Structure 1
Amino acid sequence: MVSQTSETSQTDIKVTFRGKTPVINLPVRFTVSKAESFRLTCQELFSQENTTGKIILNFSNTNFIDSCGIGSLVTNLKKAKEKDTDFILCDVNSQVMSVFTLTGLDKVLTIEKSIQPEVKNNRKSDENQLPITHPSIKSWVKRLIDIVGALVGLFITFILSIPIVIAIKFDSPGPIFFAQTRCGWMGKRFRMWKFRSMCQNAEELKSKIKNQAQGAIFKNENDPRITKVGKFLRRKSLDELPQFWNVLKGDMSLVGTRPPTPDEVERYEVPQWQRLDVKPGMTGEWQVNGRSQVKNFEDIIRLDLKYQENWSLIYDIKLIIKTVVILFKKSSGAY
């Protein structure tokens, strides 16, 4: 039985208590401002000596969650594990549950079995209930452009793949393609494909390479792991041609934000998760404003949010044209 109601000193998130167990009452719209309040609320509860080893998250009023809401849950779940505290989610409706299923969080969060049974059985229903975190997500015209562009791109990739494959094979031992896990819309993980531009054991050598970038990204202008052919492929962005397959599948878009790696996302502060409110793109603001020359993570965040604010179909087309122009320049800013 609830014995006490309070608000934490730093936030407007209401906390009630069942005996000594805190119950955090989540807002109707669990977005960036509320997500930060939720993080601070959990931080305050973790610091209290009388907090029990369990915190209940009440989702009964929540019908919308975006990337920042997901990010704050992930961040606090890690902190809870460090503090040996259980997070228990209750009264999660089908709309929110569909997001947890999309991102795989349904497998790592402890959710009380009060969810509607159709959530597990009707995948089409889940897809229809996914939140519209940005207008571009539900634009059928943007998706049509992606499909047409991906098909044209795959045709070009097929033609160019013959000399590229031969060059990669003669240059260094290893596979033709390189697959890496990236985070897409809402943090959903997918395998992004490229033509291999590095030596075969590049991932193992990464820790030995100096990071010249600032923040949650990795850049090195003279990365010794990049092969001779790889340098040419990267300069002309030919290594990214297989990503047209990711666009066709719907994991990516032709234009969007930069697709981050999971280890980058793990270092995000809550507001930085906003960049995952749209699909990642093969090109975008980061591509036409310096590409690899952008070495500060805050600048990448700024460019990604600029894309979200200015997005329109015309804006996408302009960015595609700018990208093509840049690729034909001698120095395109990529390495």
Structure 2
Amino acid sequence: MTSEIKKVVPLVTTRFNNTLLVQLPPRLTVIEAISFRQSFQQWVEDANITKIILDFGHTTIIDSSGIGSLITNIKSAKTKNIELTLWSVNPQVKLAFSLVGLDKILHIEANTDATIPTASRKSQQRPPLTHPSVRSPIKRTIDILGAIVGLSVTAVLFVPIAIAIKLDSPGPILFSQTRCGWMGRRFRIWKFRSMVTNAEALKSTVTNQAAGAFFKNDHDPRITRVGRFLRKTSLDEFPQFWNILIGDMSLIGTRPPTTDELEKYDISNWQRLDVRPGLSGEWQVNGRSKILNFEDVIKLDLRYQENWSLGYDFKLILKTFIVIFNKDSGAM
């Protein structure tokens, strides 16, 4: 990656009075996003700049890293009380903004058309280009069929699991939490409750054994007795088949981070959000219980993106079943 970063063309900027006009590149992916973030940090430190205009007129491709750099830069601009305005945003880029709600936060100046228009109205509705798995109709069909089967099994197991949860610990049967999915889009994930009801409030009292932007404790005292069994067998994850059915998740993908984890991400870490999050994936079948370094999680996520194919998904699905039925595998 070092050699690639050296090839990044510096951003073209124009200064007039207290305003800085920045022309963004045709692609705003991980390499360009890192450079954009570093440059933006320098611009906001200039006490004479009160407004920054980002010209997206040439930008046709933006991925999750580009979105991540923009979110980080928005915060930096607010901290320095610098007005941030966007010009000439391509419909594809606007669609990416809408996935994470940036279209409601950013000031996109009216009557500025993109320099490179999309070819047709149909092309404007295509999802932002990040990873081929997101655009695969076959993968989506497999997800839907798998979700239907999974929800059928969940319906059969629901009553005994619900009774066990209620007898073991007072509170709701299901647990929901806001997670970040493809391109950083927020969604509500569902699980069978495996912790005490005030687990989120107690999180700060539990030692994090992991290094980096995720949380893990092998002996988390917030987990109930029934919860440990549900996690051991991965039954707590079964309600997520609903998330798969409605398109928030996939059968195979990356682990969806929490919102506070995403706050700790470096720009390059956002690459893992170029695919839909999965019920299972490389991290889950390759020693989840033993991986304590976030950088190792990133490597597994990127390995999945590099090796992805429908056959590779089926291979990971098979390995998932092997892990679940291996009594020594630990929580999936």
TM-score (norm 1): 0.92
CA contact (8 A) 1:98 1:126 kept: no
CA contact (8 A) 1:93 1:115 kept: no
1:208-254 alpha-carbon deviations (Å, 9 max, x no partner): 11111100001111111000000000011100000000000000000
Residue of structure 2 equivalent to 1:184: 181
Aligned match of 1:61 in 58, 61, 81?
58
Residue of structure 2 equivalent to 1:169: 166
What CA distance in whole angstroms lies between the structure 1 residues aligned with 2:78 and 2:224? 41
Q: Which structure 2 residues correspond to residues 290-329 of structure 1 after superposition, within 5 A? A: 290-329=287-326
Q: SS of 1:129's equivalent? A: coil
Once the two structures are aligned, what percentage of the paired residues are identical? Answer: 59
What CA distance in whole angstroms lies between the structure 2 residues aligned with 1:318 and 1:115? 48
Aligned match of 2:149 in 142, 152, 159?
152
Change (3 A) 1:152 1:304: same
Change (3 A) 1:322 1:204: same
Q: Residue type of the partner of 2:254?
A: T
Residue of structure 1 equivalent to 2:38: 40
Residue of structure 2 equivalent to 1:6: none
Q: Residue type of the partner of 1:328?
A: F
TM-score (norm 2): 0.92
Q: Residue type of the partner of 1:24?
A: V
1:30-85 alpha-carbon deviations (Å, 9 max, x no partner): 111111111111111122233x2211111111111110100000111111111111
Q: Residue type of the partner of 2:15?
A: F
Residue of structure 2 equivalent to 1:18: 16
CA contact (8 A) 1:11 1:37 kept: no
What CA distance in whole angstroms lies between the structure 1 residues aligned with 2:205 and 2:326? 32
CA contact (8 A) 1:94 1:115 kept: no
Residue of structure 1 equivalent to 2:101: 104
Residue of structure 1 equivalent to 2:262: 265
Aligned match of 2:139 in 138, 142, 150?
142
- Gaps of at least 5 residues in structure 2 are 1-7, 114-120
Aligned match of 2:26 in 28, 31, 44?
28
Residue of structure 2 equivalent to 1:93: 90
> What is the RMSD of the two structures over their aligned residues, measured on CA atoms?
1.6
- Gaps of at least 5 residues in structure 1 are 1-9, 117-123
Q: Which runs of 4+ in 1 moved over 3 A?
A: 124-127
Q: Which structure 2 residues correspond to residues 193-232 of structure 1 after superposition, within 5 A? A: 193-232=190-229
Residue of structure 2 equivalent to 1:280: 277
2:327 aligned with 1:333: no
The worse-fitting range, judged by mean Cα deviation, of 128-137 and 247-256 is 128-137
Q: SS of 1:246's equivalent? A: helix
Residue of structure 2 equivalent to 1:248: 245
Deviation, 1:127, is 7.2
When the two structures are aligned, how many residues end up with a matched partner? 318
1:114-158 alpha-carbon deviations (Å, 9 max, x no partner): 367xxxxxxx96872322211101111101100100000000111
Q: SS of 1:22's equivalent? A: strand
Deviation, 1:113, is 1.9
